[in-house]
Structure 1
């Protein structure tokens, strides 16, 4: 790697740290925003249907605005407002030793891990594509996947506010020549990705009467198909299934499965997407088949 490329990649990596700090806000607040919206819609439906009096209060109503920008970040335990020097990616967490400066409540290590992961992915994209529009496109892809991974792990939700822009972004990036995937392959990848998990969902539901996954998983795999083409879908699904099964079994033995005994599939699909981005579908396919003793 030449000095110029290394410098550019480092700058993009630092930008990734800053984006990762914002993703921590997205991961925490977007599910809460969705819950408030659902509560407001249910209240309005109850009023319209005559099930609630017109003056019924909205349980989601809050005395202050709540979105990704407002209010400012604060400690959930004591309400201490986070100062700018306490919000420097990774460094502030290390300086504070992972605790709130006011009440000393522990701050999860996941905050700096998300920042580091985003910075590393941005660095890898810039190292591969240089200072280009392709780098910007793939950095946006990585940021969306990081957010979806954390949100799905916490809540088993894959918000349309992220999955659908990710899907359309992949198709537009292909049409603009920002990825190496022809538009026809991207469209086929999106359609095949959605229909593959949709078919699995309904086959499982008809056989067991239970839902094995959510519709967000269909949309996420469709988005991955749009970014990587239909050829990458099998490696992604195989890797996600193998790693997901291993993690699920380990959590079962550790008695750490959440209520309902389920493990969200979205993080493993996202992991498959990251693997294909970094190493390519052929190497991933060969590696998975090797793990399964089929290579």
Structure 2
């Protein structure tokens, strides 16, 4: 790597660590914010008074230990380093802190550095950093809650179409549009076919929107490789979880995380590499 490229790549990696720390907040708080909105809507429709609650959003209140309520100080919230300095425990009560927090920070930092190394410190590199951050957040939110919020899937879809139109990503606008249409409609048809055959819902509408967003970013030609990769990853994880008796009630596994992981795989290696990996 050229010496001149080290600086933007390293800077992007450090910035990615900070964004990863923010994504930890998004992953934990966004579903709770949505639950509050839904509860408020139900109360309004039923004519019930809304209970008084302290402000809760992505900025307030400040982060605190979920076990003892200790407010996290700024020097206890430095990505990765604070986790190591605290030895993975709360400084007040000693409750273990999930290793997932620094792993998300590291993953985001690595993805940001890779995007800038691959596309450069420009609009293209910035858009792919945005793409990676959104998928990291959606992977964990869907895994935790089986929700893919519209506030994430729809902006990702529109960002892909806009980026294609402005030539910030190497996908013609027509391919991006048909990728979005094909991504949404294909899973929509699978959903209804499964529901009519079994009377059950096999996936959520958020999966349609996420697949549509991936189609917008990679074009319609990438839909088959992405759905193939996500299915393989999902099947492998499902088998491991079943062997370890760790499946959730009902044996259901959210499909969104595997779509997101396939999207990141396509970003790093290219959609066609997925087909070559399986001999197609």
Query: TM-score under structure 1 normalisation?
Result: 0.93
2:249 is paired with a residue of what secondary structure?
coil
Q: Show the counterpart of 2:143.
A: 153
Q: Report the Cα distance in structure 1 between the residues aligned to 2:136 and 2:152, rounded to whole angstroms.
A: 11
Q: Show the counterpart of 1:162.
A: 152
Measured against aligned partners, the alpha-carbon deviations of 1:163-201 in whole angstroms (never above 9, x if no partner) come to 000000000011111000000000000000000100110
1:11 and 2:11 equivalent? yes
Q: Show the counterpart of 1:24.
A: 24
Measured against aligned partners, the alpha-carbon deviations of 1:95-134 in whole angstroms (never above 9, x if no partner) come to 1111100001111010001000100100110001111111
1:98 is paired with a residue of what secondary structure?
coil
1:103 and 2:116 equivalent? no
1:200 and 2:176 equivalent? no
1:260 and 2:250 equivalent? yes
1:77 and 2:67 equivalent? yes
Q: Report the Cα distance in structure 1 between the residues aligned to 2:4 and 2:22, rounded to whole angstroms.
A: 28
Runs of 4+ in 1 over 2 A off after TM superposition: 56-59
- Measured after TM superposition, the shift of residue 9 of structure 1 is 0.6
2:250 is paired with a residue of what secondary structure?
coil
Give unmatched runs, 5+ long, in structure 1: 48-55
Structure 2 matches for 1:1-295, cutoff 5 A?
A: 1-47=1-47, 56-59=48-51, 61-62=52-53, 64-287=54-277, 289-290=278-279, 295=280
- Measured after TM superposition, the shift of residue 281 of structure 1 is 1.2
Query: TM-score under structure 2 normalisation?
Result: 0.98
Q: Report the Cα distance in structure 2 between the residues aligned to 1:195 and 1:6, rounded to whole angstroms.
A: 42
Measured against aligned partners, the alpha-carbon deviations of 1:69-115 in whole angstroms (never above 9, x if no partner) come to 01111111111110111000001001111110000111101000100
Two-structure CA RMSD over aligned residues (Å): 0.9
Measured against aligned partners, the alpha-carbon deviations of 1:50-84 in whole angstroms (never above 9, x if no partner) come to xxxxxx3325x41x210000111111111111011
Q: Report the Cα distance in structure 1 between the residues aligned to 2:245 and 2:37, rounded to whole angstroms.
A: 34
- Measured after TM superposition, the shift of residue 286 of structure 1 is 1.3
1:27 is paired with a residue of what secondary structure?
helix
Q: Report the Cα distance in structure 2 between the residues aligned to 1:10 and 1:200, rounded to whole angstroms.
A: 43
Q: Show the counterpart of 1:52.
A: none
Measured against aligned partners, the alpha-carbon deviations of 1:237-263 in whole angstroms (never above 9, x if no partner) come to 000001101110110111101112111
Number of equivalenced pairs? 280
- Measured after TM superposition, the shift of residue 4 of structure 1 is 1.1
